[in-house]
Copies of this chain bind each other. A is one copy, B any other.
Amino acid sequence: MAPLPDGFSYAEWNATYNALSFGIAAMGSATIFFWLQLPNVTKNYRTALTITGIVTLIATYHYIRIFNSWSEAFTVASKDGGDYTVQLTGAPFNDGYRYVDWLLTVPLLLIELILVMKLPQAETVSLSWKLGLASALMVALGYPGEIQEDLSVRWFWWCLSMIPFCYVVFTLAVGLAEATSKQPSPAAASLASAARYLTVLSWCTYPFVYMVKSVGLAGPAATMYDQVGYSLADVLAKAVFGVLIWAIAAEKSAVEESGKVLPKAHPYV
C-alpha cells in the first residue's frame, strides 16, 4: 500500500479527522439506541435488532482504530501563531480496517434485513447464506485493488468485485420486492421498501468512492474524498439503515401485539 501523500492542507486534514470522529459518534450512539429498544419489540424481532447493534458496534470499534491511525500519521501544529501546518510522521495510515470491518458487517447487515422481513425459515436460511457469502466475496475482491497504485490493476479488482455486488443489489432490489408486499401492514411495507432502497442507494456510493483513486486522482484531496465518502456511506448503510430496521421491527411488533396477525414465533428468526 502506498504511504500517505505529502502536502495535506489543514482543511483537508481536518475534514477527514472530523468525518472519522463523526463516524465514531454516529455508530456508537446508534448501537446503544438499538439495544435499549430490545425490550420494546416482540421476541420475533429481537435477533434482528441485536445484530443491527452488533453491526454498528463493530463499526464503532473500527472508526476508533481508523481515527487513531489517522491522528498518529500526522503532526499538526502552528508555529509562532502562524497557520497550522500538517506534516506526515511516517507512521502508516491503515486502510485495512475498513475492509476487515466490511468483511464482518456487510454480511451481518444483510442478515438483519432478511431477519426483519420474517420470511419462511427455509428462505431465511438460504437467503442469509447466499447474500452473506456473496457480500463477503465482494469485500474480499475489493481489497487487492484498494491497496494498489497501478490503475489498471485497481480497475481489474473493481470489476471482479462488482460481480457479487451486482448479484446482491439485484437480489435485494428485485427478490425482496415480493417480501415487502407481504408485510403485515401498509406502514411496515413502506418501511421495508425504504430499507431496501436505502441499501441500494448507500451501497452504490462505495464503487464510486473506490473509483476516486482509480480515475487517476491522487494526492491529499483524493485521500480526503475517499475517507469522507466512505465515512458518510458507512453511516448511511449501517446507522441510518439500522434505524429503518428498528422502525420495521417496532411497527410489526405493534401489529402482532394488536392481535391482527400472530405469526408463529421461530426462536432465532
Contact = CB atoms under 8 A, between A and B. Distances in A.
Contact of A3 (B51, B78, B91): B78
Contacts of A37: 46-47, 50
A89 B25 CA distance: 27
Taken together, the copies of this chain in the complex come to 2
Nearest to A38: B36
Q: Which of A25, A26, A62, A79 has the most CB of B within 10 A?
A: A25
A82 B4 CA distance: 10
Interface in A25-47: 25-26, 28-29, 32-33, 35-38, 40-41, 43, 46-47
Given A61-B24, A267-B251, A81 B5 contact: yes
Contacts of A251: 267-268
Interface in A108-165: none
A265 interface: yes
Contacts of A83: 3
A78 B61 contact: no
Given A22-B100, A24-B61, A104-B29, A76 B92 contact: yes
Interface of A: 1, 3-6, 10, 14, 17-18, 21-22, 24-26, 28-29, 32-33, 35-38, 40-41, 43, 46-47, 50-51, 53-54, 57-58, 61-62, 65, 76-79, 81-84, 88-92, 94, 96-97, 99-101, 103-104, 246-247, 250-251, 253-254, 265-268
11 contacts: A21-B97, A22-B104, A29-B58, A32-B57, A36-B38, A37-B47, A78-B90, A78-B92, A246-B268, A247-B268, A250-B267
